[in-house]
A and B are shown apart, each in its own frame.
Chain A
Amino acid sequence: MSKENGVIYRISGPVVTAVGISPRMYEVVRVGDEGLMGEVIELHGDQSVIQVYEETSGVRPGEPVVRTGQTLSVQLGPGLLTKIYDGIQRPLPELEKTMGVFIKRGVDADGLDLEKIWDFNATAKKGDSVSSGDVIGTVQETKTIEHKVMVPPGVSGKIKDIKSGDFNVTQTVCTLEDGTEIQMMQKWPVRTPRPFTKKHAPEVPLQTGQRILDFLFPLAKGGTAGIPGPFGSGKTVTQQQLAKWSDADIVVYIGCGERGNEMTEVLDEFPHLMDPKTGEALMNRTTMIANTSNMPVAAREASVYTGITIAEYFRDMGYDVALMADSTSRWAEAMREISSRLEEMPGEEGYPAYLSSRLAEFYERAGRVETLAGGDGSVSVIGAVSPPGGDISEPVSQGTLRIVKVFWGLDAGLARQRHFPAINWLNSYSLYPPSLDQWYRDNIKGDFPEIRTEISALLQVEAELQEIVQLVGSDALPVDQQLTLEVARMIREFFLQQNAFHDVDTYSDLKLQYNMAKAILSFQEESKKAIAGGAALEDVVNIPARTDLMRGRFESGYEDKIDEMLEAMNKQIADTMEAN
């Protein structure tokens, strides 16, 4: 590869034009005397247009531009978990060490700790034929996650030598007969999806412990979801809840162009959170990428690719990975900003014409796949969208909705009523239930899908009745419809509302969700009977056992007590009949 040096011709914000080099598209170059990192995004005659990942003020025309010959890549290997990176995989704690609390420029840092010694445990042996993606050994990366060291894509052959022992990520752990040396660390260009054998249909739900999500609008492992919502409607809290509680093996959390203090909150909180399944710190399965809104915009553009490449790498080991991107709108805006500096012809609202294809390409990197090694792994992608003014007719929301299969629509009105999570049950949807229903029948209860249908139908009916109530007041409705309203209110307040900040209520497993839904339907049924038997609606509604049942969800051990509470409720309902 020819390494050439060029010079800067023009600087306009994060976009720099260089002459005298002929790099490849998306090649990484070093810009200026300080060697700022940049990426070639356009070739134009003898000019190369570069987006620079760091602040460019003070840089002059005539300063050098140096090719590196590589496209923007991430380092993959043991040591990714528990890390917190900026958009181009520089570990933030390392940056703090070298430049203090403010992020200055021209500093390089490796994504992986190159010195750290890992205990490599070879699982392949001499003479084995291996090819791309095959696991040749393991490393216990964190207490809960075993890192599988794989043959890098494009490499295959017979193992000549492999040894267990203590190595750092750049030392050779395995040699093939053709002389290829394999290290624990591999590099992968972020804009290229990592290879796999084939995609499977999603059949297993990603359990999140969030009732409205799991029960009404489930996401499948390997699926895609979009959460659009105006500011203050709880996008970030929802994303964080998913990062905390979803039953993925690995979580990649991308804070893309969001608030610094909020990112700090995540960073402070995560190391103290325990995984309900393993009892170990959640951080052990998490990688975070934080590129706050005031960090360089080009690095923000790169951050989602950095994140999804890391996610794909763990998928290739056979893990279920959940990736949260908060917020994809900021990513799209970064594209818009760079596009406008390039003086490209804009599409809608100034966004580049390729916006929707970029969004599609990104979400398409999700999926449940058969890995090269023959295993099963998945990447689920959950993207927050921040539509201006909460109006989802804008290009980023629309581009996202065309691709994702699940839509969790956040609603400012609900947030204002302090109904959280403020997900609107009337306009949200999930296209996964048909392919997941079998799983629910086999693993939770045979009538799970039917119960779900009944619950959503009740909410639908409530919406219609509410329109009448707005006009004439609820007293004008017949008793059975008043009961329906009461049941729907119970669904909303008892089931859909969930307090993310409450120790117990923050997470409900599917079994409990099913039981809670059943309890609501049981209340409806028993009340109907009681009312038909002469009980007054008011008495039925005001029985103390129902309040106990509803309040119970804030107490630990609720899943064991709910049946008993339900029985007590049903009995009291029956008693109201006798009282009359």
Chain B
Amino acid sequence: MTGKEYRTITDVKGPLVFLNKTEPVAFGEIVELRLTDGTLKNGQVLDTSDDQVIVQVFEGTASIDKQTGIKFLGDVFKLPVSTDMIGRILDGAGRPRDGGPAIVADEMADIIGAAINPYSRQSPSSFIQTGISAIDACTSLVRGQKLPIFSASGLPHNDIALQIARQAKLVDSDDDFVVVFCAMGITAEEYNFFVHDLERTGALENACLFVNLADDPAVERLITPRLALTAAEYLAFEHDYHVLVIYTDMTNYCESLRQIGAAREEVPGRRGYPGYMYTDLAMLYERAGLVKGKKGSITQFPILTMPGDDITHPIPDLSGYITEGQIVISRELHQKGIYPPINVLPSLSRLMNAGIGDGKTREDHKSVSDQLYAAYAQGRELRGLVAIVGEDALNERDLQLLKFADIFEDQFLRQSRDEDRSIGEGTLDYAWKLLSNIDTKYLVRLDQKWIDKYHPTDKKE
């Protein structure tokens, strides 16, 4: 059905082009626009009827006039996929950005991606060691999970994401991860930082990048993560790779979604974001997981910056309802100079229990994690009390907990950007050592048998 070119544009509004009476055009069909100066742009059909077709233009509508020719390409958006994508840098629409040749397609894959039948999923249960104690001990990540980083502007979420990408490994097998990195509207500087770091560590050879920068078309951002996930699915479920998908920044993606919604004059939901944002985000996040009978897996690390550090903002809020937990970056810890500034209290990994324990990490993991959590939470609460009544009013137990909160932040959380702690010696044993600053009788979350087995005999440092 190629060939016919229409010049029936009636309206152009924001990123949208409206045109009259065409042949029957499919919903979701890909469109090529030829400007009067010969420039080509791409778009996709958002609404189609006998009388009118609405096209969303990925590169923006600048210079489009009513003489612009529009060709419908007869198919929905497909990405050429192949294992050659590993080691490549592609732009936000899937074209090479690294000066290399076009991807020779093994297959053309529909980028919308069908939902995985819940019955066909396999429960994620393999622990991934990130080498970061705060994550490994308290919000353990498992293969097939989607665990976003809730951050805010000015915080080192990129460093954390990179550290995870660099250090992530499975403890129960030698399989390596392939990283699919998806940039949405980040600055060239941030992008260079990522690429430079991946190059420095040699990880680039094992990565596939999809890049839409801040000055690239905003509308293109809506397809970039879909491309990345399509590539990830292909690698995971056709070629048995374990894929780690990092995308940044989801907030920019949602802004683009809102932009399109506004241009279509849709009825907005909260804060102007479209009412279907939950479904739209779910269509991305839910493309993580494992399926029965396939070796590969997709683990997702979306990064989002919370506008105004507000966790109830629609973007983190809707994300939190879909993802399996969250890692929350804290400005307070960052300002104290602690890296990684992960606040473990509001952080959560919903799949943690399935991935830890005897035979996976260590038998005492759950108890230790609960105890760290409880002691740190109480210690932090006491800080508030001390601010009012002073330390003198505290009893021995409270004093120890108060002190522990500082030790926890300063020694357990804090680690350097290239420090890779193993779960057993590096993280759990270390936790025991720090916990020994508290009298054993106050460690109520620890089973006696673990105390007997793991508590360092040289109590108190």
Query: Which residues of A are interface residues toward B (Cβ below 8 A)?
Result: 9-13, 17, 55-63, 84, 92-93, 95-96, 100-104, 230-232, 255, 257, 259-265, 267-268, 290, 292-295, 297, 330, 333-334, 336-337, 340, 343, 346, 349-350, 386, 388-391, 416-418, 470-473, 475, 501
- Given A57-B26, A60-B48, A333-B279: A101 and B267 interface contact (C-beta under 8 Å): no
**Contact in complex: A259, B324 (CB < 8 Å):** yes
- Bound CA–CA A62/B51 (angstroms): 12
**Contact in complex: A95, B117 (CB < 8 Å):** yes
Report A-chain residues with C-beta under 8 Å of the C-beta of B346.
232, 416
**Contact in complex: A388, B314 (CB < 8 Å):** yes
Selected A-B contacts with CB under 8 Å, 20 pairs: A10-B50, A12-B47, A61-B48, A61-B50, A96-B119, A101-B292, A101-B293, A232-B325, A257-B282, A260-B116, A261-B145, A264-B289, A292-B115, A293-B279, A293-B282, A293-B286, A294-B279, A349-B269, A388-B312, A472-B389
Asked if B162 CB lies within 8 Å of chain A CBs, one says: no
User: Separation in Å of the B431 CB from the closest CB of chain A?
Assistant: 16
Interface size band for B: 35 or more
User: Separation in Å of the B286 CB from the closest CB of chain A?
Assistant: 4
**Contact in complex: B120, A96 (CB < 8 Å):** yes
Report B-chain residues with C-beta under 8 Å of the C-beta of A330.
278
Report A-chain residues with C-beta under 8 Å of the C-beta of B321.
231, 386
Asked if B114 CB lies within 8 Å of chain A CBs, one says: yes
- Bound CA–CA A515/B47 (angstroms): 64
Instruction: Look across to chain B and name the residue whose beta carbon is closest to the beta carbon of A336.
Output: B275
- Bound CA–CA A382/B94 (angstroms): 46
**Among A56, A290, A294, contact of B283 (Cβ-Cβ < 8 Å):** A294
**Contact in complex: A297, B312 (CB < 8 Å):** no
Instruction: Look across to chain A and name the residue whose beta carbon is closest to the beta carbon of B388.
Output: A471
User: Separation in Å of the B280 CB from the closest CB of chain A?
Assistant: 10
**Among B24, B49, B269, contact of A350 (Cβ-Cβ < 8 Å):** B269
**Contact in complex: B48, A346 (CB < 8 Å):** no
| Residues of A contacting B: mostly | mixed
User: Separation in Å of the A389 CB from the closest CB of chain B?
Assistant: 3
Report A-chain residues with C-beta under 8 Å of the C-beta of B237.
101
Known: A11-B47, A101-B294, A388-B317. 7 other contacts (CB 8 A): A17-B49, A61-B24, A61-B48, A232-B350, A297-B279, A473-B393, A475-B393
Report B-chain residues with C-beta under 8 Å of the C-beta of A294.
115, 279, 282-283, 285-287
| Residues of B contacting A: mostly | mixed
Instruction: Look across to chain A and name the residue whose beta carbon is closest to the beta carbon of B279.
Output: A297
Asked if B351 CB lies within 8 Å of chain A CBs, one says: yes
- Bound CA–CA A523/B46 (angstroms): 68
What per-residue 1/0 map shows which CB atoms of B305-336 lie under 8 Å from chain A? Answer: 00000011110011011101110000000000
Report B-chain residues with C-beta under 8 Å of the C-beta of A13.
27, 276
- Bound CA–CA A334/B275 (angstroms): 9
- Given A10-B47, A57-B76, A473-B385: A259 and B27 interface contact (C-beta under 8 Å): no
Report B-chain residues with C-beta under 8 Å of the C-beta of A333.
275-276, 278-279
Report A-chain residues with C-beta under 8 Å of the C-beta of B294.
101
Asked if B18 CB lies within 8 Å of chain A CBs, one says: no
What per-residue 1/0 map shows which CB atoms of B259-283 lie under 8 Å from chain A? Answer: 0000000111110001110110011
**Contact in complex: A418, B370 (CB < 8 Å):** yes
Asked if B87 CB lies within 8 Å of chain A CBs, one says: no
- Give the interface centre of B50, B112, B292, B314 by most chain A CB atoms within 10 Å: B50
- Given A9-B50, A388-B312: A60 and B24 interface contact (C-beta under 8 Å): yes
Instruction: Look across to chain B and name the residue whose beta carbon is closest to the beta carbon of A57.
Output: B28
Instruction: Look across to chain A and name the residue whose beta carbon is closest to the beta carbon of B144.
Output: A261
Instruction: Look across to chain A and name the residue whose beta carbon is closest to the beta carbon of B384.
Output: A470
- Give the interface centre of A259, A263, A416 by most chain B CB atoms within 10 Å: A259
- Bound CA–CA A12/B53 (angstroms): 10
**Among A59, A92, A390, contact of B119 (Cβ-Cβ < 8 Å):** A92
Report B-chain residues with C-beta under 8 Å of the C-beta of A260.
115-116, 118, 121, 286, 289
- Given A92-B117, A340-B276: A261 and B289 interface contact (C-beta under 8 Å): yes
**Among B124, B266, B317, B393, contact of A389 (Cβ-Cβ < 8 Å):** B317
User: Separation in Å of the B436 CB from the closest CB of chain A?
Assistant: 22
**Contact in complex: B354, A336 (CB < 8 Å):** no
**Contact in complex: B26, A60 (CB < 8 Å):** yes
7 closest cross-chain pairs (CB), A and B: A389-B312, A57-B28, A10-B49, A293-B282, A92-B119, A102-B114, A294-B286
**Contact in complex: B373, A418 (CB < 8 Å):** yes
Report A-chain residues with C-beta under 8 Å of the C-beta of B385.
470, 473
Interface residues of B in 187-244 (CB under 8 A from A): 237
Instruction: Look across to chain A and name the residue whose beta carbon is closest to the beta carbon of B121.
Output: A264
Instruction: Look across to chain A and name the residue whose beta carbon is closest to the beta carbon of B389.
Output: A473
Asked if B123 CB lies within 8 Å of chain A CBs, one says: yes
**Among A337, A388, A501, contact of B279 (Cβ-Cβ < 8 Å):** A337
Report A-chain residues with C-beta under 8 Å of the C-beta of B325.
232
Report A-chain residues with C-beta under 8 Å of the C-beta of B291.
101
Interface residues of B in 41-81 (CB under 8 A from A): 46-50, 75-76
- Bound CA–CA A250/B104 (angstroms): 54
- Given A10-B49, A101-B116, A292-B118: A336 and B286 interface contact (C-beta under 8 Å): no
Report B-chain residues with C-beta under 8 Å of the C-beta of A232.
320, 325-326, 346, 348, 350
- Bound CA–CA A562/B85 (angstroms): 65
**Contact in complex: B27, A59 (CB < 8 Å):** yes
User: Separation in Å of the A416 CB from the closest CB of chain B?
Assistant: 6
Report B-chain residues with C-beta under 8 Å of the C-beta of A501.
353
- Give the interface centre of B49, B115, B286 by most chain A CB atoms within 10 Å: B115
- Bound CA–CA A104/B115 (angstroms): 8
- Bound CA–CA A207/B145 (angstroms): 34
- Bound CA–CA A294/B282 (angstroms): 5
**Among A255, A261, A292, A346, contact of B267 (Cβ-Cβ < 8 Å):** A346
Asked if B416 CB lies within 8 Å of chain A CBs, one says: no
- Bound CA–CA A402/B286 (angstroms): 33
What per-residue 1/0 map shows which CB atoms of B70-106 lie under 8 Å from chain A? Answer: 0000011000000000000000000000000000000
- Given A57-B26, A58-B26, A103-B114: A417 and B377 interface contact (C-beta under 8 Å): yes
Report A-chain residues with C-beta under 8 Å of the C-beta of B313.
389
Instruction: Look across to chain A and name the residue whose beta carbon is closest to the beta carbon of B354.
Output: A265
Asked if B10 CB lies within 8 Å of chain A CBs, one says: no
**Contact in complex: B276, A103 (CB < 8 Å):** no
- Give the interface centre of B24, B266, B267, B286 by most chain A CB atoms within 10 Å: B267
User: Separation in Å of the A447 CB from the closest CB of chain B?
Assistant: 32
- Bound CA–CA A494/B28 (angstroms): 57
Report B-chain residues with C-beta under 8 Å of the C-beta of A11.
27, 47-49
**Among B76, B115, B374, B388, contact of A295 (Cβ-Cβ < 8 Å):** B115
User: Separation in Å of the A504 CB from the closest CB of chain B?
Assistant: 15
Asked if B25 CB lies within 8 Å of chain A CBs, one says: yes
Report A-chain residues with C-beta under 8 Å of the C-beta of B326.
232
**Contact in complex: B275, A340 (CB < 8 Å):** yes
- Bound CA–CA A416/B347 (angstroms): 9
User: Separation in Å of the A422 CB from the closest CB of chain B?
Assistant: 12
Report A-chain residues with C-beta under 8 Å of the C-beta of B311.
389
**Contact in complex: A59, B26 (CB < 8 Å):** yes
Report B-chain residues with C-beta under 8 Å of the C-beta of A349.
269-270
Report B-chain residues with C-beta under 8 Å of the C-beta of A231.
317, 320-321
